[in-house]
Structures are given as structure tokens and as C-alpha cells.
Chain A
């Protein structure tokens, strides 16, 4: 026999379930099922067309471990992620400090800084290839002055540097916004106290502002790292993975192998590994940063 209290508990549970249910369903359908299928596919030889892919065990992972191209793409991705994350964070903070303040000019510059992020990565890539290409704007100017062409996109090292540069240009608006939000939370009292105590701007920044921004730094680092680890569309539109495959990233190679080479099983194995590496790196950074955050609070 149900009591009023039990009925109330049941109502509460139903309410909770009705609120959590849709989100949980979406989570399962959009994340858990695809990840599960991806893992399953990585154990098959599916080519994208066959009705009954054969189970090949860990063969795709063994092939991946032996693939010089995939290993190279992995290192390229890690390099882009490491250098890009540092640049995004440093430049994001630097520009946030420059435009932090309530003036119309600052508002204008904030819009300008954020604008590249609004553009499609494909558009950004095509735009910059028109600027940096061998017959692009920069080289056109240089050759008109009698100078040598600079190999922005034709030399492997230059192309990688160009790719990172464009990624940072296109992405750092988000970091600026996050740091600006963080800067609004820095205690005015502490800043005022530091000023009264005679601290220089540099001392104030290092000892008051930066520690207060620690949680924002963590968010920035993790977001930038995860975003850069799955760099794909800018590679397509800026370098096409070239020259000679030197700017192929892991995500680019996954799509290339999956659809160009009809090796979706192998592509899925790469996806699973990339997912694990991304999760591992993001968790490691978050864990390391949380220690810093704890230290700041203490």
C-alpha cells in the first residue's frame, strides 16, 4: 500500500527521469553507440560497401603500429597540438589584456579579434592559400621587388609552420573571449591592494591577475588541445596534407584512409587510438592544472 510519502518520492523520480532521460538518450545515441560501433569496426576489414565485414581482430591496430605514414601523422598532430596550444593561450591572454577595458575602441578590437573564428575553416584555408601560395599575394609582392619566393606551402617545414600559424590566427579569438571573461572575475580589492602596496604592473600581473586566472588557463589549455588534436578542415583547404604528405594530421589521415582508400576498418582503428590519446592528454593536462589551481587556492 503506497503512502503519500512514497507517492511523492515516485513523483520526484519520474520528474528527474523525465528531465535527465532525453539528455541521457542523446548521450547514448550520439556518443556511446558511435564509440562502441567505432571500436567494433576497428576490429573488422569493412571497406564501406560490403554487407558482412570480416572480423580481423587486432590486425588494424598492428597495421597502424607499422604504418610509417600514420605514425608521422600522429607526430605532426602532437606537434600542432603542443605548439598551437601554447600559442593560443599566450596570444589569447596577451590580446585579452590589451583589449580589457570598457571603451568603444576595445569593443571594436574584440570583434576584430573574434572575427576569424566566425569564418568557416575551409574559407580560412582557401583565403590563406591565396595569400601564402607560391603565386599568392605575399610571393607576388616579393617577386615584384626582385626577391626570392618564400616556400610557405611548398616546403614541409614551412608548410607545417604556416598551418600552425593559420590555425592560431583562426582560433585565438575564442581564447581572448575566455580570458576576457576570466579577467572580469579578478578581485578589484586585490588589484587595489597591490597598487597601494606599490606593486609594479608586472608584479601585479604575475602575483594577482595570473593566479586568479588559473581555472580559465586550464579551460583554455584543454579546449585548445582537444580542438587542435582533431585538426582536419584547415589541412584540406590550406595544404591538402602536402607537400608530399608532410602536413597530414591524424584526423586527415582517418578520413583519407576511410573514404579515399575504402579502408573504414583501418580508419576506425585510427579513430579509436586518436580518441584515447585525446582523452589521455586532456585528462593529464586537466589533472596537472588542477594541482596548480589547488595550489593557488591554498
Chain B
């Protein structure tokens, strides 16, 4: 019993520390020219702790007496580790992965007056009320469909579909040719794929979708319903595996890259994964189709790659800002980060692989770059939207109808207003 109470009150322990710490109003201080800068980073199979330590070595060498301490999340990720560190009065100086929103911004240093931020990708789109808190290394293209060119040829599909009707028709042909038309998975993949697919058509039809949803002129369910109905028909027709929710992302990728399925909707970071696994077939990529009648290619969903923020409470403000500037501006540091995690940035195209070049072309040809899901900057939905959307979309596999899903997501949005 005692153990149970202790476990159940774990969150409160963190809070207690926060209370003792006296809040986060501390503005920090400029600090000296030397010392330690702590950076909390995301750790993934691509971005190992060793990689991060190697990345910042040139910065340390160029700034004798400066030690950049890389810190891995202690929780499930940066998102749940940062509040714990803040609560414990042990916040890092720099945080990678998260982007400022209305909750985080008060804890972050405003970088609006830093001239170098203006040359960084998506900086204006990520600004909150025209204030810059987050700067990034590059862009991640979101609305991409990777495809098996051999499967398409075998199914008699001469060119990638440009609209969703053509996409559905192509799925029918691919199924007839013996392929699982679209690879998906459980975990976060199900909802993410549908968001990625929705970006071009939603942004074309409703250029101010976020604002209209937030002002209740539109509802998420209402605007997403046609796509949900289409997805429901794909499940019914066997265009996606009805047992896909029992797969994780790695298994899904393996299934696609070993030629069992013909298409995989995913962001540009998949380029690196795909190339490292060396598929035996010719792998291509096309921009997510739009609704019939809309121009193609449509707006491309993009997110900031490797976003950095400096915490307001830092005691090494000058060094922390200098480090972040170096991370997002130094040619070699930027090139390294782009290559390591499959990200893109204008002016850094020399070392792109053929598949990477196709993605860069898609980014360049898109008429507009738009936010996706929870979004960022002026285009945001309530926190937790992506997770709730994912669960709602998954319920299409467990017997719910498209209108049920639309109603569920609208009900959730209503509860957050």
C-alpha cells in the first residue's frame, strides 16, 4: 500500500521541488566567456548521445574553456523531462526538439533581437506574436508518399497519382497486382499519416484553417470527414492491413522496404532510414495528392528540424545563445545535422542523395509550406491534439465510422476550448 501511494504521488514529488524552487521567474544571467553549457537533446537511433557530443566538439575547440554537456532525457522524451528538470530547479541552458508554444514561451529566452535568427528556416512561421523563441537547423517535409516503382510498374501505373481519386484507383490496381497498397502501423503512425496526407488539400481549401478552427468557423471533424470516409473505405477494401495497429513503425518500415507493400506515407526523415536499409527495388517519392480539382502539387506540410531554444533561467545566457547560433548557422554543424537525421535546407543540397534531391524538389515546387497537426507559431491547435487524433483515427480500425471519429475529435476540441 505504501509503495502504491508513493508511486501514485510521484508527480507531486516533482511539484514539491518546483514549489521549493520558487518558480521560474528567474531571468538568468549573462554568464562568463567560459564555463559549462547544458543542452537537453532528443536521443534517437540516428541522434545518439555520441553523435551530439561529436557535433559540439568543434564549438568547444573554438571556445577554449567552454564545455557543452549533452544531457539525454530521463523520462520518455524531452517533452516530459523538461518539466521535471524545471520543477527540480535543475533546468538545462538549451533544449532541443521542443518548439515554443504559449505554455513554454514564458520559460524561454526571446531571440527576436538576434540578427542571425532571420536566416534560419521557418523562423517567422514558428514565432509567437512575432517574438522568436525557437530557431531550427532545417525543415522536415511531411506530406510525402514513398513508393515502390516496381510495384507501380507491375500494377500498370505509369505515373504517381496527383489527386486522391487517382490514389484510390492506384491502390485498387496495386492490390490486384498482389501488393498491400498502403503500409501503415499502430503507435503514432496511423494518425500522423492521415495528417500528412491531409495537409495539401486542407491548406488549399482552407488557407486559414487553423484560425478558422480556433474561431469555431470550421471544425476539425467537419473538414477532415471526407478524408476519414476515404480512409474508412481503404480499410474496408483491404488497401491497408486491417491488423496494422499491431505493428510498430520499425516493422512497418521493414515491411515496406522489403517490398511487401507499395506505398508508405511518411516525413522526409524516412529518406535516411530507407537508404540505410538499401531496398532491392527502385524507391521513389511524390508529394501527397490533393483533392480532385485542386492544383497539384499542393501546399506541403513542413515542420522545423532540430529546433533549439535557450531557457530564460540560464546562468550562461551569452554562451548558450552563442552555442545555438553556431548550431543553426555554422555550415559544417548544419550540414552534419541535416545529413544525420534526413533533413533539408535551402543552400545545402550538394550532398543530397538522389532520393533526397527528389524531396528537396518537392519542397521547392510546393506553392506554400504549411503547419501540420498541433502546428506551431500562429497556427496551433490545443496541446494533445496529435495524440487524440491518432486514437480517433485508429478507432476506424476497431469498428467506429468516419462520422463517429469526426464527432469524437470535435468533442475533444470542444473540451479544450
Chain A contacts to B: CB under 8 angstroms:
30-31, 33-38, 41, 46-52, 63, 129, 132-136, 139, 149, 151-156, 159, 222, 226, 229-230, 236, 240-246, 251, 254-264, 267-268, 271, 274-275, 278-279, 282
Q: Is the interface of A mostly helix, strand, loop or mixed?
A: helix
Contact A34 B10 (CB under 8 A): yes
Q: List 18 A-B contacts (CB under 8 A).
A: A41-B12, A51-B25, A133-B246, A133-B248, A133-B251, A134-B247, A149-B243, A149-B246, A159-B246, A230-B4, A243-B398, A244-B245, A244-B391, A254-B11, A258-B11, A258-B80, A259-B79, A275-B5
The reply on B76 being an interface residue by CB < 8 A is yes
Q: How far is the CA of A51 from the CA of B21 in the complex (A)?
A: 10
Chain B contacts to A: CB under 8 angstroms:
1-13, 15-16, 19, 23-25, 75-76, 79-80, 83, 86-87, 103-104, 106-107, 186-187, 241-248, 251, 254-255, 383-384, 387, 391-392, 394-395, 397-398, 400, 415
Query: Could you say which of A34, A129, A282 contacts B6, with CB atoms under 8 Å apart?
Result: A34
Q: How far is the CA of A286 from the CA of B296 in the complex (A)?
A: 67
Contact B398 A244 (CB under 8 A): yes
Contact A34 B9 (CB under 8 A): yes
What 10 A-B pairs are tightest by C-beta distance, nearest first? A51-B23, A154-B246, A134-B246, A259-B80, A38-B12, A261-B384, A48-B83, A34-B9, A244-B394, A153-B246
Contact A134 B241 (CB under 8 A): yes
A182 to chain B, nearest CB (A): 20
Q: How far is the CA of A256 from the CA of B386 in the complex (A)?
A: 12
Contact A31 B12 (CB under 8 A): no
Contact A154 B243 (CB under 8 A): yes
CB-CB under 8 A from A136, the residues of chain B are 246
Query: Could you say which of A48, A153, A278 contacts B87, with CB atoms under 8 Å apart?
Result: A48
Q: How far is the CA of A156 from the CA of B186 in the complex (A)?
A: 12
Query: Could you say which of A133, A243, A260 contacts B79, with CB atoms under 8 Å apart?
Result: A260
Contact B9 A129 (CB under 8 A): no
B312 to chain A, nearest CB (A): 11
B84 to chain A, nearest CB (A): 8
Contact B187 A242 (CB under 8 A): yes
Q: How far is the CA of A236 from the CA of B75 in the complex (A)?
A: 12
CB-CB under 8 A from A241, the residues of chain B are 391
Query: Could you say which of B13, B16, B75, B186 contacts A153, with CB atoms under 8 Å apart?
Result: B186
Contact B397 A135 (CB under 8 A): no
CB-CB under 8 A from A151, the residues of chain B are 243, 246
Residue of B nearest to A149 (CB): B243
Residue of A nearest to B391 (CB): A245
Query: Could you say which of B12, B24, B387, B397 contacts A260, with CB atoms under 8 Å apart?
Result: B387
Given known contacts A33-B16, A240-B186, A242-B186, A41 and B11 CB-to-CB distance under 8 angstroms: yes
CB-CB under 8 A from A242, the residues of chain B are 186-187, 245, 391, 394
Residue of B nearest to A264 (CB): B11
Residue of A nearest to B13 (CB): A34
Contact B11 A271 (CB under 8 A): yes
- Known contacts A46-B15, A230-B7; can you find 12 more A-B pairs with CB under 8 A? A34-B16, A41-B15, A51-B24, A134-B246, A154-B243, A154-B245, A156-B398, A230-B4, A244-B392, A268-B12, A274-B8, A279-B5
Contact B187 A240 (CB under 8 A): yes
Contact A275 B23 (CB under 8 A): no
B141 to chain A, nearest CB (A): 25
Contact B75 A259 (CB under 8 A): yes
